[in-house]
Amino acid sequence: MAELAYLSLGSNMGDREVNLREAIAQLKVIGGLVELSSFYETQPVEVESQPWFLNCVAALKTDKSPRELLKAALSIESGMGRLRLGDKGPRKIDIDLLLFGDQIINEPGLTVPHPALHERRFVLAPLAEIAPAVRHPMLQKTASELLAALGEGQIVRRV
């Protein structure tokens, strides 16, 4: 049975828009693209001394399990030349599994919902754009409510 998953995509190396579009095209092969947010230029968080990111969120209808979807996303990253040299550093492409239906998963190598989803404006702004009423299954708040609850901070602007 197909499930609706939300994935966050980001790039801050090379032609960021081309990188996102290439990853989106590859995601379409593994599931049906239901919705795609606008692109957002976003200030880096945690490791601030790096180029700004271009981010978006994709809603994907998939028959894959959460683990299979994560494996496919990691394969796309690898195939596009993503090197995991450091945590939170510059990257050509980054794909994170944010939500998978209303499932809560906490297994080695797989946590759904994404553990930092509710803290990241660069994820919540595009998520709230395409799915304002989608509910965080643990916090029981919508994407719009989570975004509104964020304090001042990271700069995120729709491109």
Using CA atoms, how far apart are residues 138 and 6, in angstroms rounded to an integer?
Answer: 16
CB 140 within 8 A of CB 48: no
Catalytic residues: 82, 91, 94, 96
**Is the pLDDT confidence value at 151 over 90?**
no
Per-residue pLDDT reduced to its tens digit, 10-26: 999 999 999 999 999 99
Rounded to an integer, the average pLDDT of 36-62 is: 93
Q: Which domain holds residue 139?
A: 3-158
**Is the pLDDT confidence value at 153 over 90?**
no
Using CA atoms, how far apart are residues 65 and 140, in angstroms rounded to an integer?
Answer: 23
Q: What's the whole-model pTM score? A: 0.94
DSSP E strands, the chain: 3-11, 32-36, 40-42, 53-62, 94-100, 105-107, 110-112, 156-158
**Is the pLDDT confidence value at 152 over 90?**
no
CATH number at residue 134: 3.30.70.560
Q: Work out how many domains the chain is built from and give that number.
A: 1
**Residue 131's pLDDT is what?**
98
Confidence of residue 83 (pLDDT cuts 50, 70, 90): low
